[in-house]
Structure 1
């Protein structure tokens, strides 16, 4: 799907409601500034924002399940472009979105550069070029420039007479679909749709690209839908699995502790799998009501009827529906804001609820993703596997490095630590027991107060631990006491899922710009 929106934030809700079934979006004139955060749920965002001036900007949104990486982000003269390479059943395909403002000139070197990066490419964009022989009403100066590019022979355009821009009874084809061979042969079902909002402007263009994109492998992480959990079944199954573990078994070695921990973890995860469904990962657009969705569908039908008949009655009907859609979207936003504000007036508020409300207003917490190149030690990483390896090398070489204890400060710390250990050893040797055992009541008290933290590699969530059984508490008391007594942390609990957060105002391509957050086992 391609559209010139003249402000992406203004039309996000309508675009999501109308075009969420499309996997790739090309958007021109986003009007985003480099410091502004923007995301679309379920999509990776690739942006080229206009610097130091109003308007402009281009954006590609690619469904997160598709393998892709940014290969070009450039502004040549006034030509703004961003290009992404995706994996398909027929090999690599470069998809670019290009915007050329009315006062600008088409820069052929931009199109040459795109073709040189990958001679199998698809270019979408508002070029402000009208070329009569390719379906426009007339030919303008940019149309002549576009013709010169087409005459080079490496690019072809979709040759139809569908107008892409309408205003005050004037219509023209100025948005284009350009592609190389054989990609252009796989494009069909090209359609234009009713403009966004209440004004006549650029029309969204949709088409089908008959290529199968390679999908990213599914994440090994398990995500459960706790809202549909059967907690009675969970506790029943948990006890069934825990009964298979021998409580009389003594934990006398580190290997015993590691084996016992794995068995305990498996019992909890198996019970979770049987008692609660996995999250399906489907993206829901909750910003738009069902009433609005139906009005948008009606708007599209009425628009197509008017364009066919050119009847004045149909035109008035379309204008009326268009106004209703705009009002309905506005009402949806008001209702959403009212619902958010009502959460602030509750008599008793949980901290999680407060922060969820704050995040809805605080732009800095908008989830951001980066799918461009990563560069480290003269190595460029494009796909997810390569990036994971680059980060692993970076952390191994520069972060998690054992440094020699040679400085005076280290010597001072070591001396003091040794003194404390000697003192503790003398005190504990005089006692019959080295420590007071952890009791079941203490464990119950802690389990009840657990926050809803994100799970680690074992996928055990604190909500599962809070729905404990008496048998689980007994097993936990046994393993915790063994850990404290032997001074050994199970190997499974030392594993973590690492999430990388971009530091403010840092270069996205450099590994050192990211702060690692480790998600350890909730156990």
Structure 2
């Protein structure tokens, strides 16, 4: 299977996936409350044979009965007490040797945690889940703590609908700060499809794109307005070459880029336009100038099969 994507100029890839020797079959979704969807989730988990299930917005309270965990799965969870519409969970098949990463920095405003799987030939793998409420005031760089992992996959709903992952840009300050955190930690976003209408709210971030494959979105859990995301996380296997293209900033002509952008009569061209329309105009102009002034380069990567 082959697929390509353009992620903020720092990843365009075509990956060929063969038969995986060993992988984790994963599901992620924003449930918008698991209270009346658990039976449906159990049927889905059994029919699709998921190894890992990541859920945001569980809406579980302190009275949630842990005995209702699905048969054959271990439950990891984090709730925020006193607030409706939050909480995250990971369900992992009992057969896997895994443990929750401990938070040594105290209580945090975001619901997030990671689970470490004991790896073999490729070392440990960390799967994390995170939810940021849309009215969250303070931005927290959660990725900084777990991105040191050898192989990391984060399943998240960060509620940043203004981010454009094609150009790696955003309108609001908090979204720009989040993008800066993603770049600083060498993470890439590999979910190409929006999962709630046209809004890219749910994200799959990883520090090694070759460890994530067969990403698909479709269907929903109960009446949730977020689609279900399926993916595979490689744990071991034979390595196969794949093509990765990135923007070669070392050969970029930044003087020409500034000149091209400076020639545009911004005030005249944006007169009468609203915020969204002006933003789209600026983004398209920047992408055109980028194509003319920053060359692409190919790199070798690996993907297990």
Task: Using structure 2 for the length normalisation, give the TM-score.
Answer: 0.60
Contact 1:129 1:141 in 2 (8 A): no
1:127 to 152, 158, 169: 158
2:226 to 195, 202, 205: 202
Shift of 1:191: 0.7
Cα distance between partner residues in 1 of 2:184 and 2:91: 29
Shift of 1:150: 2.0
Tell me what 1:111 maps to.
143
SS in 2 for 1:81: strand
Cα distance between partner residues in 1 of 2:168 and 2:183: 17
> For structure 1, which runs of at least 5 residues remain unmatched after alignment?
214-523
Q: Provide closer, same or farther for how the CA distance between residues 209 and 53 of structure 1 changes in structure 2, counting only shifts above 3 A.
A: same
Shift of 1:159: 5.5
Cα distance between partner residues in 2 of 1:136 and 1:31: 32
- Tell me the matched-pair count: 204
1:191 to 216, 222, 228: 216
Contact 1:76 1:110 in 2 (8 A): no
Q: Provide closer, same or farther for how the CA distance between residues 202 and 150 of structure 1 changes in structure 2, counting only shifts above 3 A.
A: same
Matched, 1:98 2:130: yes
Shift of 1:101: 0.4
Larger relative helix fraction? 1
Cα distance between partner residues in 1 of 2:106 and 2:166: 27
Q: Provide closer, same or farther for how the CA distance between residues 136 and 76 of structure 1 changes in structure 2, counting only shifts above 3 A.
A: farther
Shift of 1:196: 2.2
2:116 to 85, 104, 113: 85
Contact 1:190 1:207 in 2 (8 A): yes
> For structure 2, which runs of at least 5 residues remain unmatched after alignment?
1-26, 238-305
Q: Provide closer, same or farther for how the CA distance between residues 109 and 138 of structure 1 changes in structure 2, counting only shifts above 3 A.
A: closer
Tell me what 2:188 maps to.
156
2:206 to 165, 179, 188: 179
Shift of 1:10: 1.4
Contact 1:158 1:178 in 2 (8 A): yes
Larger relative strand fraction? 2
Max Rg structure: 1
What pairs with 1:196-275 in structure 2 (closer than 5 Å)? 196-198=221-223, 201-212=225-236
What pairs with 1:56-75 in structure 2 (closer than 5 Å)? 56-72=86-102
Cα distance between partner residues in 2 of 1:16 and 1:137: 38
Contact 2:78 2:113 in 1 (8 A): yes
Contact 2:143 2:182 in 1 (8 A): no
Q: Any idea what the Cα deviations from partners look like across 1:126-185, whole Å, max 9, x if unmatched?
A: 11123213499975554323211122143221162x01113xxxx21110011113xx21
Cα distance between partner residues in 1 of 2:63 and 2:139: 27
Contact 1:189 1:207 in 2 (8 A): yes
Tell me what 1:24 maps to.
52
Contact 1:81 1:99 in 2 (8 A): yes
Cα distance between partner residues in 1 of 2:123 and 2:177: 30
Tell me what 2:13 maps to.
none
Cα distance between partner residues in 2 of 1:186 and 1:7: 30
TM-align CA RMSD: 2.6
Cα distance between partner residues in 2 of 1:76 and 1:154: 25
Q: Provide closer, same or farther for how the CA distance between residues 135 and 204 of structure 1 changes in structure 2, counting only shifts above 3 A.
A: farther
SS in 1 for 2:61: coil
Shift of 1:211: 2.0
What pairs with 1:370-449 in structure 2 (closer than 5 Å)? none
Cα distance between partner residues in 1 of 2:77 and 2:96: 17
Cα distance between partner residues in 1 of 2:40 and 2:81: 27
Shift of 1:202: 0.8
Contact 2:29 2:229 in 1 (8 A): yes
After the TM superposition, list the runs of 4 or more consecutive aligned residues in structure 1 that deviate by more than 6 angstroms. 135-138
SS in 2 for 1:133: coil
* Larger RCO (alpha carbons 8 Å, 6+ apart): 2
Cα distance between partner residues in 2 of 1:17 and 1:136: 38
Q: Any idea what the Cα deviations from partners look like across 1:15-44, whole Å, max 9, x if unmatched?
A: 222233110011001111234223111110
Cα distance between partner residues in 1 of 2:234 and 2:137: 32
